[in-house]
Structure 1
């Protein structure tokens, strides 16, 4: 009979899968190291059990103890599985940018989850770095994992992931591409592969808002590069000790939008239901395509499973709210798509300015067309009203016709976005769209900017 003694015995020996369509005209053989086949559905299972085993061996983790770790979700899952099998309690400290699914999954396997704000400095006592350290100091018989600086992290990949890739490619791997967070995967795999063949190129995928790429190229830790980003699992605002820059040949940065779009594309084009960092990795690979030849064997590692992102990158409404859609607005009808079924809010020339202000507040709009029996004869916007108010505190009691500006230009629904952009300027904050049959809609600066 063939069986594992417990769930930890199924970690590793994940498959290598050829990537066929999404790579376009890249001439090389491109293979995915598909880490979602680990029992915790991510590459982090490997280093989780290694870090625990090493901590047990040297006495840092004692029987019945509590494991405490700051995690983006995947390391927490790997640690939680090991904690269940080995009889430890598990506390995961996670940032609020991580998906709800990650929090729910950690709770489902018995972990206590503490959520901390993302947009704070690492040294801020509210950060998930500081919170996890503090909890470890306050909790009796506890062990703070610290995956960022824990050498067992990179060692796990040196001992398992790297050798697997070398064996599965029969030693023919020429490039390794992977997203970089704690640095354990790229450093452990990179070190092993370069020991077998110094000519293997190791490429890290970084994100905008992270410090890795510039630091690798210049040695400068630029705090101006640090700002909040959406992509999960890669990038850092610190320099983890596990990142061995000496084995990394280069970094390429991928935007939040491209990472999200290519996460969806992997599922729809290749049938790869993967996490956010996989989208970043495949887009980074495409950005590196000029580095590959027909004789190369490129391995890209995919970290985790798509089930942890169903409410985010696989949710069209979430994608649309952030502008993470590939639909390119070409004309007026595209720009009004989100509000084309709403009636156009207008005012009459003989109404009072106070009526216009009430309507603008009620419908949360910044500009409003003015009409009379002949059609559109003027317009108001909030900038006009503020200036008029400063000149005359009784402006709300004046007829609109006394304070209105010239009417908004009118275009048809097929007018190109380039022409609309030229019409929207300092003196004119909107255009009207003639939909036919006496119906009109409005395009504002916000609509144009949202479509960029």
Structure 2
């Protein structure tokens, strides 16, 4: 009978799949190494097993111990599978930018999940690097994995992923393209492939907010490049020991928006449901297209499953909130269509300034139209009210009509967005849209900015 003794024996030997429509403009054979076929649905299963087995062998991890790791989710899943089979406890420390699906999945397989803020320095005691180390020092019989500097990470890909790709392409691979996070995959695969053929090019995909590309090109670790970004699983604000820059021929950076958009395109155009870093890799691949020739064989690695991003990149509302959804905004009605059912908040001429302030605070808005029995007669915004308060501390008890400005311009639903934009000035921060049913809606500068693609 042909069966595996446990789930860990099913890790590896993932398929290479030819990409077609999404890479039509690339004049080469492009193959995707689809790592979602691993039991934990990501490439990280490979190094999770290797890191644990090596730690067991040299005594760092003892029977019944607790494994502790900072993870974006996928390494945690791989570690969880091994922990279940081998009888260890697991604590995963994650940043709050990771998808809820990743956190829920880890809890489902028995891990304790600790969530830390994203927007802090790596050395900050609240960072997931620092919290991981602290928990390891406080927890008896524990082992801190540290996938960033644990060289078993790269070794797993040197021993497994690299040889698989070489065998599957019959040694014809010319380029390997992969997102870089901990650096284990690009360094392990890159080392193996270059040992077989030094002419194979190794390209890393980086993201804006990460230090890899500039460091590779200049040797400068530029802290000015570090800022928060949305893309998951690639990029870093540190230099992990697993990143061997000498093996990497170059990097290209991909924006958060492009990574998200191309993640969805892979599913719709290739029927491959994979995660955020795969989208970044495909966009990066297209940015590198001038490097590829007709006879080249380009392998791009897809890290993980799209199921971990259904609440993010595969959610229209999430994409729309960040301006990532590719919608054609040409008219006023396009700007307001997603919140057209919301009530227009107004204030009457005889109401007090304090009433307007209370409404702004309650509804989290900055501008309010002023009405009387005849219709719109004025407007107030937070800047007006602030100036009035500075001039007169008792302004809160005055009627709105004494501090209001001019009424907001009114446009029709079909007014071109270019015409709407021209109505915004230093003196005017909003435009009203006539809904043609006796009611109105408001467009603010924020709405216009949000519609920019």
What are the ranges of 5 or more consecutive residues in structure 2 without an aligned counterpart?
none
SS in 1 for 2:22: coil
- Superposition pairs for residues 191-230 of structure 1, below 5 Å? 191-230=191-230
- Superposition pairs for residues 18-97 of structure 1, below 5 Å? 18-97=18-97
Aligned to 1:254: 254
Whether 1:339 aligns to 2:318 is no
Whether 1:367 aligns to 2:367 is yes
SS in 2 for 1:143: strand
- Superposition pairs for residues 288-327 of structure 1, below 5 Å? 288-327=288-327
Whether 1:124 aligns to 2:124 is yes
Distance 1:349 1:94, change over 3 A: closer
Aligned to 1:17: 17
Distance 1:376 1:171, change over 3 A: same
The Cα of 1:187 is off from its aligned counterpart by 0.5
Distance 1:28 1:403, change over 3 A: same
The Cα of 1:297 is off from its aligned counterpart by 1.2
Structure 2 CA distance, aligned partners of 1:346 and 1:68?
54
Runs of 4+ off more than 6 Å: none
Alignment root-mean-square deviation, CA: 2.1
SS in 2 for 1:22: helix
What are the ranges of 5 or more consecutive residues in structure 1 without an aligned counterpart?
none
Aligned to 2:160: 160
TM-score by length of 2: 0.93
Structure 2 CA distance, aligned partners of 1:53 and 1:362?
56
The Cα of 1:372 is off from its aligned counterpart by 5.0
Distance 1:64 1:426, change over 3 A: same
Q: Which moved more, 1:119-128 or 1:297-306?
A: 119-128
| 1:157-199 alpha-carbon deviations (Å, 9 max, x no partner) | 1111111111111111111111101000000111111122222
The Cα of 1:357 is off from its aligned counterpart by 4.3
> What count of residue pairs does the alignment treat as equivalent?
452
SS in 2 for 1:436: coil
TM-score by length of 1: 0.93
Whether 1:417 aligns to 2:438 is no
Q: Which moved more, 1:392-401 or 1:288-297?
A: 392-401
Structure 2 CA distance, aligned partners of 1:127 and 1:135?
12
Distance 1:428 1:38, change over 3 A: same
Aligned to 2:267: 267
Aligned to 2:285: 285
Distance 1:143 1:435, change over 3 A: closer
Structure 1 CA distance, aligned partners of 2:170 and 2:176?
14
- Superposition pairs for residues 395-414 of structure 1, below 5 Å? 395-396=395-396, 398-414=398-414
The Cα of 1:374 is off from its aligned counterpart by 5.5
SS in 2 for 1:428: coil
The Cα of 1:107 is off from its aligned counterpart by 2.1
The Cα of 1:401 is off from its aligned counterpart by 4.3
Distance 1:372 1:102, change over 3 A: closer
The Cα of 1:113 is off from its aligned counterpart by 2.4
